[in-house]
Each structure stands twice: as structure tokens, then as C-alpha cells.
């Protein structure tokens, strides 16, 4: 596992199983839904990092797939 993947796994595992399942659902949803969800998060400063992560997943399929793979590896599938 790459260092980046290890860091990603650490951050994702800190979310907890319920939050991981919700994030997975968002990442697997349509781009329109992800955009609406992201805009709602932007209004909440405490969720700015999550909003950025979803935006990155929307603009780069590799990011989205790495996130989904990392979540699967953590056992949230």
C-alpha cells in the first residue's frame, strides 16, 4: 500500500462505519446529486474538507475510484 493510500485509509477510518457508508452512497450517486450535496456542504464551514474531497472526486474519476477502493478495503462495502 502506498503512503498516500495509508493516509487516506487512516482519515476514512476516523469517519466511522455509518459515515463511510453515507460517503460511499454519495460517491456512487449521480453527478447532479453529488453537486447538490457538495453545495449544501459548502455552506457549513466544518464540512469544507469533505466538500473539497467530493469536488475532487467529481472532477477526477481516479480520485473517486481510489476513495471507493479505500472504503471497500476498510470493510464498508
Opening angle at CA 64, ends 66 and 77, nearest 5: 70
pLDDT at 67: 85
Query: In terms of Cα–Cα distance, which of 77, 41, 34 is closest to 59?
Result: 34
Instruction: Dump pLDDT digits (tens) for 1-44.
Output: 456 777 778 878 887 888 888 888 888 888 888 888 888 877 77
Backbone phi and psi for residue 24, each to the nearest 5 degrees, phi listed first: -60, -45
Between 26 and 76, residue with greater pLDDT: 26
- Which residue in this structure is represented by grid cell 454519495? 26
Confirm if 58 and 31 have CB atoms less than 8 A apart: yes
Query: Any idea where the domains of the chain sit in the sequence?
Result: 3-73
Backbone phi and psi for residue 16, each to the nearest 5 degrees, phi listed first: 90, 160
- Indicate the pTM of the whole model: 0.69
pLDDT at 76: 47
Mean pLDDT of all residues belonging to the chain: 81
Amino acid at each position: 500500500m502506498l503512503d498516500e493510500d495509508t493516509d487516506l485509509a487512516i482519515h476514512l477510518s476516523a469517519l466511522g462505519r455509518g459515515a463511510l457508508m453515507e460517503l460511499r452512497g454519495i460517491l456512487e450517486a449521480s453527478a447532479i446529486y453529488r453537486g447538490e450535496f457538495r453545495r449544501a456542504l459548502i455552506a457549513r464551514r466544518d464540512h469544507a474538507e469533505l466538500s473539497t474531497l467530493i469536488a475532487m472526486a467529481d472532477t477526477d474519476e481516479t480520485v473517486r475510484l481510489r476513495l471507493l477502493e479505500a472504503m471497500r478495503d476498510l470493510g464498508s462495502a
